[in-house]
Structure 1
């Protein structure tokens, strides 16, 4: 028997097209455009070429010229993520994996390979695993989280405030999310430059991505074993002790899922919001004048420059059609977040105000919508607000067109964001707050798969004397105390 063709185009044989390198048809086999290499240096431009050539769904090539689909339309993306009966995130049905076209050494395998996590599960298993993650998420105290973010913002700013210059990417945006996430997961001692860099490298599809993945997983598995033996009030302990009964491997893989998704998304989001504040005078004026809040600015950024430009991957469980293209069983598809967010069908005017609209694709959708999006928003909202209060005169040190970007299939982020400001003295940071959790439900009362997020009351501030610091001669006014409480200090 002749094996069934798994064409990624509407033609019967994509290989019968122009030869590789034909300038009219891209540089890959069959005239398909590559999502890596020289042409992919400008992914935004490449997406628009694909949209013009193919419409809402376009055939593309991954590394090693493995064929895939890029979903460019907003509606088509929502249709894909909202129909688990047709599309799955379980890559074990991917034709390129089954026939060996995409081997175990493929650079993107750490992002594609099936893992025992909720993002790759379906049905009852998906409910069990996602329920455990959401249950552990519900134990995070938002007020303590904001306090910790404020504390780390002060720590990071203290390192460069006296110089009057800084790079807000490498010295702030890349570090604040990791510091917060290490505290949430229960491993503050693991936070360092190496963990920051290997986590970013893992998502780039580089030659070292597999080694970086092994390093990150070694840390998370040590944490899992330690918390299995010695539970504490942290996300990892609650994940382990959830009634869903996750194995050590399942716990470690879900810690990886939370760490990677929340870190990369928040690091990029922080840098993007700060870039807009520094380069758009109207944007900053609205913030300073109170016409726009930091959370609204964050939401606008999620439309214009989403932290993840595309997500690997969805896989067709049956022959179907999407965006006018014939999708075969076993074909792989990208969730095209960045191109979907600027789909002319939903955003004919890209300059239109989208701040009150949360229908962007930044956090996906459907059963696999990002469970940690509230953590990412909290880190970005609080971190940007705290930084601007600490450095109110901060200005971009170069022209906007001098800013450099780096991009991979999954994300696009600033290389650096150089700024200048009036030098200032470091602030005295009296204590290092912890991110505590709310009381865990008793096992016999936790019958639901997903634990709803409780309504949390703010915890009163401990007196200064309890922190081992002499009480000031003159305390803040009632209004100042209220502002400090509201902002999480």
Structure 2
């Protein structure tokens, strides 16, 4: 099997459990250079050694379980024996998690739909799902088209571009910011801030601060002047969310939508340009763009690991005994390549949405349709307007960076025949703060390519 990435004892624990052995006893770390450079190799090693549930170590030698099997991941996602509330974690209850642990920003409990259970989760999820359902789909596609055209025109005349920096990261920033109610002039800065938050390092705190300030200003603005956006719908929802709950959920949507959608666009474009498994099928008209997106969600889930489940009681999963209070992490990437369900991993997966990329059960991602729409519409338009796009460096020179939770393609340099532009247009719109209007301005007309459309097979 070819790897999807071609580049390069604790308090409250079960006594005698191998999960809580010292590093010298063979429990593998899920972080570090080797683990983060070749995560799929690590998953297979863990699967061979432990089966579908493996003990691992996180930063600070914090013990956890990593779920590797597809069926076992679904079991944890759907079972009431596992909570998303980190206050069930014995490391929190007993105070053994270091105050400066890098796990705290990820696992610290907040009144968020992603970190609550039961009636409180139902109350918050109703507000979020109904707020997202208020998006007008026809109007959404007009906005996606408007921003995609603007970005493409920004580099079409150059004959070259970096489709990660110039397209994949910018398009979701513009569209998602608009749907939340964030001014267009602030969209790229907010998108960069979210990227910094997820990447970690020195820029993470500054990025988080910018996002917090942006959603604070947005909520105060929409309280005075509601609009047709998610912020206004959350504020007005019958479940009565507090201002702080609205702010926190807007921040959650930004983090949960921008990075995954950017990665989905980038990885789909990379597959189209480089993957020999698909180029023949694509040129023969046997695969649609939705098929290709689903294949990427199988092979490159936007989040590889979700570390937000804790056992509420002693339970057995995949033949492994897990104790109450143990941290149990969903291995989405590992589950997607489980040999039990992927007997032929090199065979394309057509029309199959049983991957784990959006989760399942009560905490299944409520915004997955928004991400799919941005990726599908944007990529379709890009390949229609620039049908001769090709990678300008060898595939093995593309670089992927990541952490134990996710991986990111750093660049996708391409070249093509320069296109004439009707008028110069900046790829990154600037200007004063722009209020959200209920109706979009007319969308620029899409001119037919000068040569035959070699990407016509993308059409449904």
Q: TM-score range by the shorter chain?
A: 0.7 to 0.9
Say yes or no: does 1:51 pair with 2:47: yes
Q: Deviations over 1:353-384 (max 9, x none)?
A: 31211110000000000000000100111011
Whole-Å Cα distance in 1 between the matches of residues 268 and 165 of structure 2? Answer: 15
Aligned residue for 1:203, secondary structure, equals helix
- Give the direction of change, closer, same or farther, for the CA distance of 1:421–1:78 in structure 2 (3 Å limit): same
Gaps of 5+ in 2: 1-9, 449-458
Question: Offset of 1:147 from its aligned partner?
Answer: 1.2
The total of aligned residue pairs comes to 432
Q: Is the 8 A contact 1:56 1:73 kept in 2?
A: yes
Question: Offset of 1:155 from its aligned partner?
Answer: 1.2
Question: Offset of 1:428 from its aligned partner?
Answer: 5.4
Aligned position for 1:125: 120
Q: Is the 8 A contact 1:107 1:205 kept in 2?
A: no
Whole-Å Cα distance in 2 between the matches of residues 89 and 294 of structure 1? Answer: 34
Q: Choose 325-334 or 94-103, whichever is displaced more.
A: 94-103
Question: Offset of 1:435 from its aligned partner?
Answer: 8.5
Aligned position for 1:64: 60
Aligned position for 1:22: none
Q: Deviations over 1:26-82 (max 9, x none)?
A: xx3542211221222221211111111111111111112211111110000000000
Aligned position for 2:97: 102
Question: Offset of 1:310 from its aligned partner?
Answer: 1.2
Aligned residue for 2:309, secondary structure, equals strand
Q: Deviations over 1:401-437 (max 9, x none)?
A: 111100112211111111111111235599x999977
Q: TM-score, with normalisation over the residues of structure 1?
A: 0.82
Q: Is the 8 A contact 1:8 1:69 kept in 2?
A: no
Question: Offset of 1:230 from its aligned partner?
Answer: 1.7
Equivalent position to 2:186, from 179, 186, 191? 191
Say yes or no: does 1:361 pair with 2:368: no
Where does 1:327-346 land on structure 2 (aligned, <5 Å)? Answer: 327-346=322-341
Where does 1:10-409 land on structure 2 (aligned, <5 Å)? Answer: 10-11=17-18, 14-15=21-22, 28=23, 30-40=25-35, 41-83=37-79, 85-189=80-184, 191-281=186-276, 283-409=278-404
Q: Choose 31-40 or 382-391, whichever is displaced more.
A: 31-40
Q: Is the 8 A contact 2:67 2:328 kept in 1?
A: yes
Q: Is the 8 A contact 1:141 1:435 kept in 2?
A: no
Aligned position for 2:455: none
Q: Is the 8 A contact 1:56 1:71 kept in 2?
A: yes
Say yes or no: does 1:410 pair with 2:390: no
Gaps of 5+ in 1: 16-27, 438-458, 477-486
Question: Offset of 1:253 from its aligned partner?
Answer: 1.1
Q: Deviations over 1:73-117 (max 9, x none)?
A: 00000000001x200110111112223332343223222111111
Q: Is the 8 A contact 2:12 2:90 kept in 1?
A: no
Whole-Å Cα distance in 2 between the matches of residues 243 and 37 of structure 1? Answer: 46
Question: Offset of 1:162 from its aligned partner?
Answer: 1.5
Question: Offset of 1:11 from its aligned partner?
Answer: 4.1
Whole-Å Cα distance in 1 between the matches of residues 25 and 206 of structure 2? Answer: 33
- Give the direction of change, closer, same or farther, for the CA distance of 1:4–1:297 in structure 2 (3 Å limit): closer
Q: Is the 8 A contact 2:302 2:407 kept in 1?
A: yes
Q: Choose 214-223 or 64-73, whichever is displaced more.
A: 214-223
Whole-Å Cα distance in 2 between the matches of residues 257 and 331 of structure 1? Answer: 25
Whole-Å Cα distance in 1 between the matches of residues 310 and 88 of structure 2? Answer: 7
Whole-Å Cα distance in 2 between the matches of residues 258 and 149 of structure 1? Answer: 18
Whole-Å Cα distance in 2 between the matches of residues 125 and 428 of structure 1? Answer: 52
- Give the direction of change, closer, same or farther, for the CA distance of 1:390–1:90 in structure 2 (3 Å limit): same
Whole-Å Cα distance in 1 between the matches of residues 187 and 230 of structure 2? Answer: 20
Whole-Å Cα distance in 2 between the matches of residues 29 and 426 of structure 1? Answer: 62
Q: Deviations over 1:317-351 (max 9, x none)?
A: 11111122221111111111100000011111102
Q: Is the 8 A contact 1:302 1:360 kept in 2?
A: yes
Whole-Å Cα distance in 1 between the matches of residues 298 and 370 of structure 2? Answer: 18
